[in-house]
Amino acid sequence: MHVKLNGKDHSLEGVHTVASLLANAGVDAKTVVVELNGTILREPEFAGAAIAEGDEVEVVHFVGGGSGAAAANDDALVIGGKRLGSRMFLGTGKFGNDALIPCCVKAAGVDVVTVAMRRVDFGAPQGNIVQQIPKSCTLMPNTSGARNAEEAIRIARLGRAAGCGDWVKIEVVSDSANLLPDNDETLKAVDALVREGFTVLPYMLPDPYAARRMAEAGAAAVMPLGAPIGTNRGFRTRELVQIMIDELEGVPIVVDAGIGKPSEAAECMEAGASAVLVNTAVATAADPVRMAAAFAKAIEAGREAYLAGPGAVSGHASASSPLTGFLRKEA
């Protein structure tokens, strides 16, 4: 019997169900989601799902991609009806050792953690990264790898079927060179997934018009990039993001991608951003756990500075003490 398994031709001998396929490959059925001919199956359905000649089977699991209870204070961030105690979101890609992830989560006190979905490698099955994330966190699968709205919607549905709830970060990138998000396709995915009951946070190019359309379509927050993803180049898009913050009243703005240092995260928060998502800067640091804690402190400091109301910027010098010449006679 010939089937298409994770996009590749595959031969099976005898009668097979999804459950037997996974068992023979040494894949833990509890850590994966299966799509059989476009229908998403959950683990209790695997044993009764027969595989026939020509079937298309997709087996996916979570990988790195893309704790603490919410504090009861007047400045808590609320997104999609969920009260968050931390304004730092953490991505899980690029860590040299996945065991560092729960340590970083604890050090930073983050509430929201992003994960990506990928096909299971039947030649070398791996563990599910979700097992490394404290259960107190809100999991936010991202649609990394999607090139259009249709693929993003499909990935989001798989994430929900895997038990990650309704939060999803929409990430549609058709530009493989610069990895810039496609706002038009992203908007289509936002509209469709909001209708299906998802809490949608779209990753986007900073554009006040597109952000407003996404918010009107029901996005719970918008996530403009600070710089191209993975570059650690800092808050290069500040002026455009500032317009979004000023114009989109009531819409949480989460700066995502390109933030490389805690000081840059503080700058985002001082500008009035609601939160910052950090991944590469933490995962690739010499000491990821310490860097995670540093980012958390910087984000908190930036928020406090924003609430305090920074003084006005002036183009002229102005002494902070009287310039009275008390050691000389006044003319």
Burial class (CB in 10 A: 0-12, 13-18, 19+), 272: middle
Catalytic residue among 30, 94, 169, 297: 169
What b/e string do you get for 226-259 counting C-beta neighbours within 10 Å, with b at 16 or more?
A: bbbbbbbebbbbbebbbebbeebeebbbbbbbbb
Which residues are CB-neighbours of 160 under 8 A, at least 6 positions away?
A: 141, 166, 168, 198
Based on the residue annotation, tell me whether 169 is a catalytic residue of this protein: yes
Strand, coil or helix: 244: helix
Strand, coil or helix: 289: helix
Residue 141 and residue 167: Cα distance in Å, rounded? 7
Residue 277 and residue 313: Cα distance in Å, rounded? 28
Looking only at Cα atoms, what is the longest distance across the chain? Answer: 107
Tell me which residues are annotated as active site.
Answer: 169
